Amino acid sequence: MDVIQFPPSEGGRGAVALKDIPEGHTVFEIPRSLVLSTRTSTLPQRFGGNAWKKAMLHQGWSGLILCMMWEAAQGSHSKWSAYFDSLPTSFDTPMFWNDEDLTELKGTSVVDKLGKDQAEKDFTEKILPAVQSRPDLFNSQDIPTKYTLETYHLMGTRISSRSFTLEKAEEEVEHHDADDPAENEAANTSMGSAMDVDGPPSLDHEQGDEHPDHQEEEEGNNEEEEEDSTEVVMIPLADILNARYRTENVKLFYEPNCLKMVSTKPIKAGEQIWNTYGDLPNAELLRGFGHVDYLPLAGTDNKFGNPGDVVEVRADLFVQCALEVHPEHVKEAESELIERIDWWLEEGGDDVFVLEIDPDSSELEIPPPMLSFTRLILFQAEWERAKSKSKPPKPTMDMQTLSVLVAVLERRLQAYDTSLEADESILNTRLDALSLNKRHALIVRVGEKRILQAYRDKVGHLLDEARMKEAGASSGKSSGKGKRQREADDSEKDGGRRIKRQVR
């Protein structure tokens, strides 16, 4: 293989096969000693294990970022000096966008997760104090130039766009059979460990998150906590591979002393060698890597986008819409609704629902937990039942639930400043005239809106059907109410107090 410059749409610099490569061939091997991590850099030992933990550098990416800053500051004395010289020094990730470009992302899930403030807080509260506390390790003259917020963001983005998540070595030796290639597949061969540790945004969404594990850091203050068996590492050369949706032709496997990039299918001479970053949706690709996948979409009339796109819809929007659409059902006081939400979360329910279009069948599936959660909020009887059975409500598509879903999808579509039609028209006529950031933002928006619109149409259709069925049922029966109506009446009879103000 060689490393060459591909067109930007093909990933820019990447690896090319110089000969035909058969499937199962080791394209290259990297000795473990060249992997850059908090265990191979000597900084944590020099700093002292306890001091490192006290400075909270053992959790999240801060420790690795500091190691990278320190190794880079050592210049040619660092083992990774040539590696640093080869790394990009600028990125197209939204972390580095100006405010005008960022407004183009309004409504997308990138905004909530950016976490610039949190990154700055970590830099000020963890990195700087650690650096200032050890003049023997961090030359004071270097601080204003090599331990800056800018360098922190640069190293953080190098991690988000090029890191791998590996099982820690002891774990491998203990638990893996080194002769079984399937066992030796790197714990996660996708880069951008962002997705691996990314928790759903919290319901109140007070803070975003540049590096997803900040959330983990905040929650994981307990030193007794079990140590994570995986680690985020930088692997020179392995990170030179680009990726595109379902294009991968190699995979990273590990052995006790080395990591091997092995072909998963035959690669012809002249073809690019592609890794996978996990076939992420465009919002995540843009946030972590600074690019998007823009490919022909199967089953469409010449449309382009990322078949792996998804839309995230926060659970609090369901609460808001349930209160608005069915105040007659949701009469419970704020404290009771919060109790229901807490119960849902304690039972392991998500606070974000993910909508996607099946890339193979183009089918839409309304996530059952979304229906279940809506019913939990809507119906007192469902809440009582759920509590007593320790089981969330059945994901039934009744009229009331569907009407909340329609309201949610419409509201979610309104979170963007522009309509799908307006965006698609720019996409079809002026895409190339836009700056790179604006083009990326437009592609992310359109991908999300197409999914929302498709679900809006589907749920609207189901609601019409449910209404017709309900109308037919009530006109066919002179007496007796439908089960749903009875449920609604029950809820009325519960005499819940009027909501004083909306739950967050």
Ligand X SMILES: C[S@@+](CC[C@H](N)C(=O)[O-])C[C@H]1O[C@@H](n2cnc3c(N)ncnc32)[C@H](O)[C@@H]1O
Interface with ligand X includes 455 (CB under 6 A)? no
Interface with ligand X includes 287 (CB under 6 A)? no
Interface with ligand X includes 278 (CB under 6 A)? no
Interface with ligand X includes 14 (CB under 6 A)? yes
> Residue 291 to residues 102, 195, 209, 246, 391: CA-CA distances in angstroms?
15, 15, 19, 16, 41
Using left for φ > 0, alpha for ψ between -120 and 50, and beta otherwise, residue 480 falls in left
In 347-398, where does DSSP find H-type helix? 368-378, 380-389
Interface with ligand X includes 54 (CB under 6 A)? no
From candidates 63, 115, 201, 290, binder to ligand X by CB under 6 A: 290
Interface with ligand X includes 273 (CB under 6 A)? no
Return the number of the residue (60 or 192) whose C-beta is nearest ligand X. Answer: 192
Interface with ligand X includes 242 (CB under 6 A)? yes
Of 163, 166, 152, nearest in space to 57 by CA: 152
HSE-CB of 448 using CA atoms within 13 angstroms: 29
Residue 6: CB minimum distance to ligand X, A: 8
From candidates 43, 67, 73, 191, binder to ligand X by CB under 6 A: 191
Interface with ligand X includes 11 (CB under 6 A)? yes
Interface with ligand X includes 308 (CB under 6 A)? no
Return the number of the residue (287 or 445) whose C-beta is nearest ligand X. Answer: 287
Residue written as token pair 């905004």: 111
Of 417, 421, 425, nearest in space to 450 by CA: 421
Return the number of the residue (288 or 392) whose C-beta is nearest ligand X. Answer: 288
Return the number of the residue (197 or 238) whose C-beta is nearest ligand X. Answer: 238
Interface with ligand X includes 256 (CB under 6 A)? no
> Residue 294 to residues 6, 118, 425, 431: CA-CA distances in angstroms?
16, 30, 16, 12
Interface with ligand X includes 94 (CB under 6 A)? no
* Interacting span for ligand X (CB under 6 A) from 9-17, 295-303, 418-426, 447-455: 9-17
Interface with ligand X includes 156 (CB under 6 A)? no
Question: Facing residues of 251 across strands?
Answer: 262
- Residues from 386 through 425 that contact ligand X (CB under 6 A): none
**How many whole angstroms separate alpha carbon 472 and alpha carbon 159?**
59
DSSP letters for 453-492: HHHHHHHHHHHHHHHHHHHHHHHH-SS---HHHHHHHHHH
Using DSSP's 3-state secondary structure scheme, residue 44 falls into: helix
Of 314, 324, 366, 316, nearest in space to 340 by CA: 316
Interface with ligand X includes 72 (CB under 6 A)? no
From candidates 97, 123, 164, 289, binder to ligand X by CB under 6 A: 289
Q: Which residues of the chain form contacts with ligand X (CB under 6 A)?
A: 11-14, 88, 161-162, 191, 239-244, 289-291
